[in-house]
Amino acid sequence: MTAASPPRSLVWLRNDLRLRDNPALDAARREGPVVAVYCWCPAQWRSHGTGPRRMAFILRCLRALSADLAERGIPLRILMAKHFSEVPAGLQALARELGINALHFNAEYPVDEQQRDHSVQVLLEAHGVSVAVHHGAVLTPPGSIRTNAGKMPVVYSAFRRRWLARTQAGEGQPLALIPTQTWPVLNGKAMTSDPLPDPDDVDEALLADLWPGGENEALRRLRRFMEGPLVDYREQRDLPASPGTSRLSPYLAVGCLSPRQALAAAMRANHGRRSGGRPGPDAWINELLWREFYQHLTAALPQLSQGRAFKPETERLPWRDDPDALAAWQQGRTGYPLVDAGMRQLNAQGWMHNRLRMVCAMFLSKHLLLDWRQGEAWFMQQLIDGDFAANNGGWQWSASTGCDAVPYFRIFNPITQAQRFDADGAFVREWVPELKALPAPDIFEPWKAPVLAPDYPEPIVDHKAARARALAAFKSLAGR
């Protein structure tokens, strides 16, 4: 520790709410005493579809971070800004107040965030503050994985192959926890942290039992997953009734955990390998790479953040307008037990199992022929792990409008999906109590069961007819 001195650099924390493996924070503290800032932008986030659950989760993570920073002698300043447009001037004023000469942050890749960051950079540099952009939310910086033609690979398997070839096994080790600094002094006084935002419309305790905030919680969950379910991940990951996945997505989305930390932990369990090791860790690393793929795509293709389909021809699909069907889907009352179980899990927990996200997304976009953007928005509103790149990627995959998406004719049958992945009906029984008394396989087609479930709705569409309608809609694109 050095004697108390004024701050020299500012780290702007965003989707990187952690002290470990945080490239921006690490670079900032190397320049001398560092101050952290967080911009609370509720109106902007709401316009991006972020719901109260995720805002509550961010607040919890911010509270934990503020305490962790204080232990390291780093004050946390809060900049209240309704919209991103207010951020550049706010940061510039703070930089002037602190007298710092460098700003560091980790990049965010959707368009509005990139434009905000560009404006910040231009303004601060014009005032003599250097700005350094780092990459803490990805394994490798977007733009670094390229085809021979120098383009971003738009097929996942090619992306993965090139990622494996480009990066070395020992490369990208997570950075260590930053050392403690002496609390910086400003105008002769020790600095303090700002109080955290206390918005009227966000209940910080929302879903706190299920999703406590903070880096330490993320690390605890990572350890528990590594010591338990990881080994059987490949067999268990598709079974929604099994606690077979890590449930780390909310922590990765707000950056309480970095993807490099996740990768390094998986490699330790995988004989140090990124692929070709043990089935469980291999399969989990593959999912981390899907996350990476969608982050890189978001950075490469601004049209994705502007609500456009990756495949432009699919903009001509004859999406239906059916508010009743949309509401039935949102509430988990479609009459298809696995779809309803998934949607109810989402509404209750702010999280849904990946297999069911695909089943429910395909049901909306194919069986109901409703615009995938309506589903994407509902998910974003409800999810505690809402992440633009993964959500958009997952929706466009399921709706067959996206990059390396499922072929339009491979439409998941919600009945056989249930028979396959919830064979004894345990998951449906947990989330759809109206069907509790039905044994498998009756529970998957309750309308055919000898004992009817009077409180449970009839299917809102017939699978075969809905499938035929979706196929016709996609085929019509070729004819025009």
Ligand X SMILES: Cc1cc2nc3c(=O)[nH]c(=O)nc-3n(C[C@H](O)[C@H](O)[C@H](O)COP(=O)(O)OP(=O)(O)OC[C@H]3O[C@@H](n4cnc5c(N)ncnc54)[C@H](O)[C@@H]3O)c2cc1C
Minimum distance from residue 390 beta carbon to ligand X (Å): 3
Q: Is 183 one of the catalytic residues?
A: no
Residues in touch with ligand X (CB under 6 A): 237, 245-249, 252-253, 287-288, 290-291, 294, 354, 357-358, 361, 379, 383, 385-387, 390-391, 393-395, 398
Catalytic residue among 12, 45, 284, 290: 290
Note if 378 is an active site residue.
no
Catalytic residue among 45, 284, 319, 397: 319
Catalytic-role residue among 287, 430, 434, 445: 287
Has 372 been annotated as catalytic? Answer: yes
Cis peptide before 441 (omega within 30 of 0): yes
What span, in angstroms and rounded, lies between the C-alpha atoms of 368 and 325? 7
- Give the CA-trace dihedral at 239, 245, 247, 248, to 10 degrees: -150
Q: Which residue's beta carbon is nearest to the bound ligand X?
A: 394
Q: Computed from CA positions of residues 259, 261, 262, 263, in that sequence, does the dihedral angle turn out positive or negative?
A: positive
The nearest distance, CB 10 to ligand X, in angstroms, is 29
In the set 101, 286, 347, 354, the catalytic residue is 354
Q: Any idea which residue has 């934990």 for tokens? A: 64
Q: In the complex, what is the shortest distance from the CB of residue 185 to ligand X, in angstroms, rounded to a whole number?
A: 40
Judged by CB, which is closer to ligand X: 180, or 306? 306
Closer residue to ligand X, CB minimum distance, 142 or 386: 386
Q: How far is the CB of 438 from ligand X (least distance, A)?
A: 27
Nearer to ligand X, 66 or 382 (CB): 382
CB of 270 to ligand X, least distance (A): 14
**CA–CA dist 69, 28 (Å, integer):** 14
Cβ proximity to ligand X: between 7 and 49 the closer is: 49
In whole angstroms, how far apart are CA 56 and each of 32, 51, 234, 378? 33, 9, 32, 17
C-beta closer to ligand X: residue 44 or 391? 391
Annotation marks residue 354 as catalytic: yes
**Does 319 qualify as catalytic in the annotation?**
yes
Helix, strand, coil percentages for the chain (3-state, nearest 5): 50, 5, 45
Distance CA 380, CA 277 (A): 35
Name the residue nearer to ligand X (CB basis): 10 or 145: 145
What residues contact residue 422 under an 8 Å CB cut-off, 6+ apart? Answer: 239, 240, 241, 338, 341, 428
Cα–Cα distance, 321 to 298 (Å, whole number): 28
Least distance between ligand X and beta carbon 399 (Å): 9
Instruction: Report whether 259 contacts 287 (CB < 8 A).
Output: no
Q: Look up 227 and say whether it is catalytic.
A: no
Q: Which of 45, 163, 211, 372 is catalytic?
A: 372
Catalytic positions? 287, 290, 319, 354, 372, 395
